[in-house]
Amino acid sequence: MSWLVTMRDFCREMHMQDMNVSATPMISEAIGNDVFKDERKNVYFNPEGADKPLKSPIPFSVVEAARDYRMKRLRQKLSEHDCDALLLYDPVNIRYAFDSANMMVWSLHNAARYALIVADGPGIIFEFGKCEHLNDGLPAVDEVRLAKSWMYFTDGVRVPERVAAWADEIEDILKTRGAGRRLAVDRLDPLGVEVLKARGYEIVDGQAIAEKARCIKSAEELALMRWTVRVCEAGMARMYEASEPGRTEREIWAELHYENARSGGEWLETKLVTAGPRTNPWFQECSDYVIKRGDMIAFDTDLIGPYGYCADLSRSWTCGHVRMTPKQHELYSASLDQIHHNLSLLRAGLEFREFNERSWRIPEKYLPYRYSGAIHGVGMVDEWPLVLLHPDFHNNYPGVFEENMVVTVESLIAEKGSESIKLETQVVITATGAERMDSFPWETL
């Protein structure tokens, strides 16, 4: 496990530097603003050369152990909910269960492949045509069948006929295996639900089963997630280097996308990179806005990286790496205070309610511009749980932070007429606190 120790040591060393070492100022031009280029960020490039992609050092045995753990988690939750089978259409859930991935983004909006896990029975992939070979060698896949799709896109007015054939096959499998009629389903168009109910099946929320299974990570999953964070931080280093006047928001975003793609990653869930006046209000995606010297650049990675895991990190810094204005400094300081305070509260056994009661209180002038949540889970994508900020917590559900959950701690700080500061860190919940998975430095104040 020396590779894992090395990765953990790297993260911890970088985190200590972030906490204890000031950035080295480099005065590059006499332009009226000092330029402070943070050399700590250079170590996140590939040490073999920034022009080269990162290559995972993780042994295949770790991938195999993660696969085994994930399927066992799903079967455990299936049993706890007293369900006879689990029908999966969400490609993220299929990836979690079987490590089977095929046209992930396309299948997010085209119900062209699905899977069935029979309690105490087989795991079956129903694959898109001519793609059956993609499941070769996957240990949780007991059988591969050709998917029977019934989308209007592919089947038009023949959808009723096709959905009947689809339901016939599902029913035949369950009958043959002696399964009952309590069927969990994660995502299904209304017609499919109607047809299954008409055949006497009780439909249970399969997404709840999947989310509760996914929320607790094994040691091997954590190792895979740490590697995704490593790739993400290399992309962030590219973004930092590219943050010069005259570049567009889209160009900065593309640096992250490029590093992820060439280092074995998959996609970015959003394009949340904005600068200057476009940072407020938040949730504007990147554009052709030409970034000016001194503009605050703020972003949220939302990166689905190697092995299908998510690195959800946020940072903010100035274009041209110039000293922050007093207002930027004030906002950034408040945002970092919120991160550090809320991070310090986290530990296994802490109730969401208790976290809320002790969480950082947002000053009145920032409240209208606050973020949508304080904490949320992360795995292959953003996932359960979500813990809302204190002004909104009356709408939250109850829950408890558990050991080996992975969550992010969020902050968005802005006021009327200002830029926004967006910060976010990803952590593992432990018995005694929270261990950060990322170490990319905050800005020096």
**Separation of alpha carbons 123 and 378, rounded Å:** 25
- Regarding whether 279 and 200 lie in a shared domain, the answer is no
Number of domains in the chain: 2
- Regarding whether 354 and 262 lie in a shared domain, the answer is yes
- CATH number, residue 316: 3.90.230.10
- Regarding whether 360 and 342 lie in a shared domain, the answer is yes
Q: Locate 23 and state its tokens.
A: 């950035």
Instruction: Mark which of 186, 214, 242 sits at the end of a domain.
Output: 214
Q: What is the pLDDT of residue 37?
A: 83
- Regarding whether 190 and 179 lie in a shared domain, the answer is yes
Residue at 56 is within a domain: no
- Regarding whether 154 and 101 lie in a shared domain, the answer is yes
Residue at 144 is within a domain: yes
Q: What is the pLDDT of residue 34?
A: 73
Which pairs from 10-13 meet CB under 8 Å and 24+ separation? 10/230, 10/439, 11/226, 11/229, 11/436, 11/437, 11/438, 11/439, 12/439, 13/439
Q: What CA–CA distances, in Å, run from 444 to 244, 323, 358, 402, 411?
A: 18, 10, 27, 33, 17
**Residue-level pLDDT, tens digit, the chain, 445 residues:** 555 555 555 555 555 554 443 343 333 333 345 777 898 999 999 999 999 999 999 999 999 999 999 999 999 999 999 999 999 999 999 999 999 999 999 999 999 999 999 999 999 999 999 999 999 999 999 999 999 999 999 999 999 999 999 999 999 999 999 999 999 999 999 999 999 999 999 999 999 999 999 999 999 999 999 999 999 999 999 999 999 999 999 999 999 999 999 999 999 999 999 999 999 999 999 999 999 999 999 999 999 999 999 999 999 999 999 999 999 999 999 999 999 999 999 999 999 999 999 999 999 999 999 999 999 999 999 999 999 999 999 999 999 999 999 999 999 999 999 999 999 999 999 999 999 999 999 999 8
- Regarding whether 291 and 356 lie in a shared domain, the answer is yes
Full residue range of the structural domain in which residue 332 is found: 2-34+217-436
What per-residue string of b and e applies to 165-177 under the rule 16 or more CB within 10 Å gives b?
ebbebbbebbeee
Q: What CA–CA distances, in Å, run from 132 to 116, 125, 143, 302?
A: 15, 9, 10, 30
- Regarding whether 412 and 396 lie in a shared domain, the answer is yes
Cβ pair 315, 332 in contact under 8 A: no
- Regarding whether 148 and 104 lie in a shared domain, the answer is yes
Instruction: Mark which of 184, 214, 244 sits at the end of a domain.
Output: 214
Residue at 53 is within a domain: no
**Separation of alpha carbons 276 and 32, rounded Å:** 19
- Regarding whether 238 and 307 lie in a shared domain, the answer is yes
- Regarding whether 185 and 103 lie in a shared domain, the answer is yes
Residue at 351 is within a domain: yes
Q: What is the pLDDT of residue 7?
A: 55
Residue at 89 is within a domain: yes
Residue at 445 is within a domain: no
Residue at 71 is within a domain: no
* 423-218-8 Cα angle (round to 5): 55
- Regarding whether 93 and 25 lie in a shared domain, the answer is no
- CATH number, residue 101: 3.40.350.10
Instruction: Mark which of 165, 192, 214 sits at the end of a domain.
Output: 214
pTM for the whole thing?
A: 0.93
Q: Locate 46 and state its tokens.
A: 């590939």
Give DSSP secondary structure letters for 67-131.
Answer: HHHHHHHHHHHHHHTT-SEEEE--HHHHHHHH---SSHHHHHS----EEEEETTS-EEEEEPTT-
Residue at 207 is within a domain: yes
- Regarding whether 238 and 209 lie in a shared domain, the answer is no
